[in-house]
Amino acid sequence: MQRPKVDQEELFKQVNMIFDEIQQNGDLAVKKYSHFFDRVDLETLLVDEQAIQDAADKVGKALQEAIKLAKRNIEAFHTEQLEIKKMVETTPGIHCWRESRAIERVGIYVPGGTAPLFSTVLMLGVPAAIAGCREIVLCTPPNPEGKVHPAILFAAELAGISRIYAVGGIQAIGAMTFGTESIPKVDKIFGPGNQYVTAAKQVAQNFDVAIDMPAGPSELLVIADQTSNAAYVAADLLSQAEHGPDSQVILLSDNNDIINAINQEIQQQIKTLPRKEVAAQSLENSSAILLNSIEECVSFSNQYAPEHLILAVQDYEHFIPGISSAGSVFLGNYSCESAGDYATGTNHTLPTNGFARNYSGVSLDSFVKKITFQHVSSEGLKRIGPAVEIMAEAEQLMAHKNAVSLRLRDVNDG
């Protein structure tokens, strides 16, 4: 059940030190730590408009069309989450309702150190635009030449992101937390990252900045029975293992033969992967576990609370009601986790490290605030006023009672 972790005390000590320096020195501190961590010397942090415009020419037509297809599906799924105002008459003369308001300024963090995750740009930028966020700021690590990957720039332009900064890591989160000469302070920070980025997001909350969730290194749990395809499951496990050396994948089954078959497939498939060294390190943190039944596998999964859960079992519908903690669930042999990472339309920014027990993945709701409204007529006040007076007096809040009593006297006097 344990995730791979670095020394938390030392980690948060480092984050707080960098935050203090950014708060005092702004861009200068951001550039200092970009040099220290990313080995890049930046003259400016903002990606210029020309680089964004030129990005499309550097992205092949096939990839452009794939990104556009993914955007359409993400847009379709998240647009359906727009809340329709529903007015409720709780008591005759009393009407209550709720309306959504976009968070005005949001910051998006897109990992780019070991792989340019342009798909995350769509997953966060598209719902932010649908919600109506006034300003969408994106930070992503540059390459050693100080450039941002053109696919990230293309996806950002497509998603309608306001400004893009070539900054990654703790320093990017710190910049969006405090604001610098170049990077604006935001109201809420979104995006996955390694344990350093995750820790920085958690510290940001101490400075009046909200975050989507503590989303750290990627993880996958697969439940497989004797009907699962060993090659498919192995490919799914490796697809998450290649994210980073601190990623973790878990295989659960009630059948020892299928576990052995999947492990053999993993050994064969990993040989052909360009990122096989990364995947191999991740597999050292990972486990294949034999349990007595698929029901036990589901119970274990609920306690582990995985970011991604694949049910590679014959009667997956039967087990859906029993799933209580997971970021996103993939059903059946053809629902590979990669499909959800890119193009089914669901969001791939999900809680990790067991936080699926108490957090949801990113949705349209993540980018809005819900404000309640109520209108009380004189008739409504007559109906609930006496109850409010009694409750306020019982709590010894006489000013609360008086606010009602004054009105009730006027209403009763006509």
CATH of the domain at 142: 3.40.50.1980
Tokens 């903002």 label which residue?
46
- Model pLDDT, residue 185: 98
Residues 112 and 207 in one domain: yes
* Cα-only R_g, the chain: 25
Residues 38 and 56 in one domain: yes
Residues 187 and 250 in one domain: no
Residue 373 lies in a domain: no
- Model pLDDT, residue 326: 98
Residues 248 and 135 in one domain: no
- Model pLDDT, residue 44: 95
Q: Which of 317, 334, 360 is the endpoint of a domain?
A: 360
Strands ordered across the beta sheet of 105-109 = 163-165, 135-139, 105-109, 188-190, 210-211
Report whether 237 contacts 21 (CB < 8 A).
Answer: no
pTM (two decimals):
0.93
Residues 27 and 49 in one domain: yes
Among left, alpha and beta (phi > 0; psi -120 to 50; other), residue 67 is alpha
The pair of three-digit structure tokens given for residue 54, joined into one six-digit string? 């030129």
Residue 320 lies in a domain: yes
The pair of three-digit structure tokens given for residue 402, joined into one six-digit string? 């008086």
Residues 394 and 331 in one domain: no
Residue 365 lies in a domain: no
- Please list the pLDDT of the chain residue by residue as tens digits (414 residues): 888 877 789 999 999 999 999 999 999 999 999 999 999 999 999 999 999 999 999 999 999 999 999 999 999 999 999 999 999 999 999 999 999 999 999 999 999 866 789 999 999 999 999 999 999 999 999 998 999 999 999 999 999 997 999 999 999 999 999 999 999 999 999 999 888 999 999 999 999 999 999 887 899 999 999 999 999 999 999 999 999 898 999 999 999 999 999 999 999 999 999 999 999 999 999 999 999 999 999 999 999 999 999 999 999 999 999 999 999 999 999 999 999 999 999 999 999 999 999 999 999 999 999 999 999 999 999 999 999 999 999 999 999 999 999 999 999 998
Q: Which of 162, 187, 212 is the endpoint of a domain?
A: 212
Residue 323 lies in a domain: yes
Contacts of 278 (CB under 8 A, 6+ apart): 114, 241, 242, 243, 244, 245
- Model pLDDT, residue 4: 81
- Burial label, 257 (beta-carbon count in 10 A; 0-12, 13-18, 19+): exposed
Residue 368 lies in a domain: no
Domain limits for position 392: 378-412
- Model pLDDT, residue 406: 97
Residues 295 and 226 in one domain: yes
Q: Alpha helices of 7-60 — where are they, by DSSP H?
A: 8-25, 27-38, 49-58
Catalytic residues: 307-308
Tokens 């109506």 label which residue?
132
> How many structural domains compose the chain?
3
- Model pLDDT, residue 114: 63
Residue 198 lies in a domain: yes
Residues 399 and 345 in one domain: no
Q: Alpha helices of 251-372 — where are they, by DSSP H?
A: 256-269, 276-284, 294-304, 316-319, 337-342
Residues 114 and 263 in one domain: no
- Model pLDDT, residue 414: 80
Residue 369 lies in a domain: no
Residues 347 and 397 in one domain: no
- Model pLDDT, residue 113: 62
Residues 61 and 207 in one domain: yes
Q: Which of 163, 197, 212 is the endpoint of a domain?
A: 212
Residues 275 and 385 in one domain: no
Q: Alpha helices of 189-326 — where are they, by DSSP H?
A: 195-204, 230-241, 256-269, 276-284, 294-304, 316-319
